Amino acid sequence: MPGAVEVRRLAGSELHEQLDALAAVLADGVAGGASVSYLEPFSQGDARAAFGEWAAEVEQGCRLILAAFAGPELVGTVQVNLAVPPNQPHRADIAKLLVHRSARRRGIGQLLMEHAEIEARAEGKTLLVLDTVTGDAAERLYQRLGWTTVGVIPGYALYPDGRPCDTTVFFKEI
């Protein structure tokens, strides 16, 4: 399946054309219980508004949005946040890795992360940081891809339904 999937960085008119599709993946993730900043109720409109703000940051050069396409269909996304303090120019944050529930467990999450690293390196970044819910598929994915666990923060965030969840912080030198 990954052979049939293309990952690319979205910008300009293509990014704007794909905002609804990106929002659909985010809304699906939250509906599926992913702890990615949001609480229920979370609508497609809420997701579209979030991606509208991130798209503005892409235009300002402080964020990258990548998308995975299975044929014409956008099935996953990940972001590289380049907005770092002046004394951390070599660092970026990875955020909002999401694969639509209908497309999971085919290697698309891994493909997105591999491309995020390539794009971050192209921006001159040598250190990446991220955090994720402890014990989920994403944590296993990051471990598989060579990320180093910094530690676990108990009760750091909430699932969309309001239950608390622990968060694992990772870094990777690239």
Ligand X SMILES: CC(C)(COP(=O)(O)OP(=O)(O)OC[C@H]1O[C@@H](n2cnc3c(N)ncnc32)[C@H](O)[C@@H]1OP(=O)(O)O)[C@@H](O)C(=O)NCCC(=O)NCCS
- Asked whether the CA dihedral 127, 133, 138, 143 is positive or negative, the reply is positive
| Residues between 8 and 47 with contacts to ligand X, criterion CB under 6 A | 29, 34, 36
| 136 touches ligand X (CB under 6 A) | yes
Would you count residue 132 as binding ligand X (CB under 6 A)?
yes
Cβ proximity to ligand X: between 61 and 118 the closer is 118
**Binder to ligand X among 99, 120, 128, 129 (CB under 6 A)?**
99
Q: Is 104 in the site for ligand X (CB under 6 A)?
A: yes
Query: Should residue 141 be labelled a site residue for ligand X when binding is judged by CB under 6 A?
Result: yes
Query: C-beta of 88: minimal distance to ligand X in Å?
Result: 20
Per DSSP (E only), the strands in the chain are 5-10, 63-70, 73-81, 91-99, 127-133, 148-158, 164-173
Exactly one of 8, 90, 121, 140 binds ligand X (CB under 6 A); that residue is: 140
Residue selected from 50, 109, 119, 129 as contacting ligand X according to rule CB under 6 A: 109
Distance CA(152)–CA(129), nearest Å, equals 14
Q: Taking CB under 6 A as the rule, does residue 167 contact ligand X?
A: no
Q: What part of residues 78-97 is at the interface with ligand X (CB under 6 A)?
A: 97
What phi and psi values does residue 52 have, to the nearest 5 degrees? -60, -40
Angle formed at CA 139 by CA 136 and CA 144, multiple of 5 degrees: 130
CA–CA separation, 17 vs 157, rounded Å?
32
The DSSP symbol for 103 reads: G
- Tell me the residue nearest to ligand X as measured from the CB: 109
Give the three-state DSSP class for 60.
coil
Q: Using CB under 6 A as the criterion, which residues of the chain lie in contact with ligand X when the complex forms?
A: 1, 29, 34, 36, 97-99, 104-110, 130, 132, 136-138, 140-141
